[in-house]
């Protein structure tokens, strides 16, 4: 099983109304913002940067502390784009911040969501959408092994066998049966290299028991 990082963002808005003013605008409602970020197992996430950008492109930045909490002393009411980033993610969400009483829960697209979307798109042969998702995922975690496998499938499906082969070979040595089966398909049906196909069919069968693949292997060995 390939482990994929999950992330759920929860932002709790608390505080009291105040009025602020400056030379360019009349009194504007604002309130403090207290939040906490959790992962999917309800563990707080520390050292994650959040950037709040309003419609006038004014920016307020904050970073979560060791307990996953962040605090903005004063944030004017309005619409905000929130950029949430660390080494493994860079996501953007939008909120309308007008109430001091509501609890606002935001769920952002995680790398898990993007990878699952990519898997569905590949099943549907939606290659335009797949290409866009691949670009997004590469910005977040291009070394994710399940992503590499799916990217190999993408190149296979669009008949780019060399690129598919190169990607899949980076996963050799892991117990990923279907990586070896796809490599066998490449060598048997597209590169006319039966000995390599036999090698990878055997690697598949060392992990998965499959009567159809056993029969395929026997036929390939008898012909070569």
Residue closest to 83 by CA, chosen among 112, 62, 105, 113: 62
Segments of the chain assigned E as strands: 7-8, 17-22, 25-36, 38-39, 49-54, 59-63, 69-76, 78-86, 89-97
pLDDT at site 198: 97
pLDDT at site 110: 64
* Averaged pLDDT, groups of 10, the chain, 224 residues long: 42 45 47 72 77 88 85 82 72 67 52 87 96 89 94 98 98 96 98 97 96 96 90
Beta carbons of 35 and 11 less than 8 angstroms apart: yes
- Residues near 106 by beta carbon (within 8 Å), at least 6 away in sequence: 9, 10, 11, 82, 93, 95
C-alpha to C-alpha distance for 106 and 93, rounded to whole angstroms: 8
pLDDT at site 28: 58
For CA atoms 152, 156, 160, 166, the dihedral sign is positive
Q: How many CB atoms lie within 10 A of CB 26?
A: 7
Residue closest to 44 by CA, chosen among 70, 67, 13, 11: 67
Residue closest to 180 by CA, chosen among 202, 150, 161, 147: 202
Q: How many CB atoms lie within 10 A of CB 23?
A: 4
C-alpha to C-alpha distance for 17 and 39, rounded to whole angstroms: 30
pLDDT at site 70: 80
Beta bridge partners of 57: none
pLDDT at site 179: 97
pTM for the full model? 0.64
């Amino acid at each position: 099983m390939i482990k994929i990082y999950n992330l759920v963002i929860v932002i709790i808005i608390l505080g009291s109304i105040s009025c602020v003013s400056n030379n360019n605008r009349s009194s504007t409602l604002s309130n403090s913002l207290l939040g906490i970020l959790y992962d999917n197992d309800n563990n707080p996430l520390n050292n994650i940067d959040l950037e709040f950008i309003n419609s006038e492109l004014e920016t307020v930045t904050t970073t979560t502390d060791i307990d996953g909490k962040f605090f903005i002393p004063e944030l004017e009411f309005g619409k905000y784009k929130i950029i949430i980033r660390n080494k493994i993610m860079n996501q953007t969400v939008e909120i309308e911040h007008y109430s001091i009483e509501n609890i606002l829960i935001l769920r952002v697209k995680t790398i898990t969501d993007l990878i699952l979307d990519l898997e569905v798109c590949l099943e549907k042969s939606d290659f335009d959408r797949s290409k866009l998702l691949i670009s997004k995922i590469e910005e977040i975690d291009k070394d994710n092994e399940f992503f590499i496998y799916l990217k190999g499938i993408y190149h296979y499906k669009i008949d780019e066998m060399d690129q598919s082969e190169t990607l899949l070979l980076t996963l050799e040595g892991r117990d990923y049966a279907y990586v070896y089966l796809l490599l066998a398909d490449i060598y048997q049906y597209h590169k006319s290299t039966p000995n390599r196909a036999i090698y990878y069919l055997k690697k598949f069968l060392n992990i998965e028991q499959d009567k159809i693949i056993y029969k395929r292997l026997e036929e390939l060995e008898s012909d070569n």
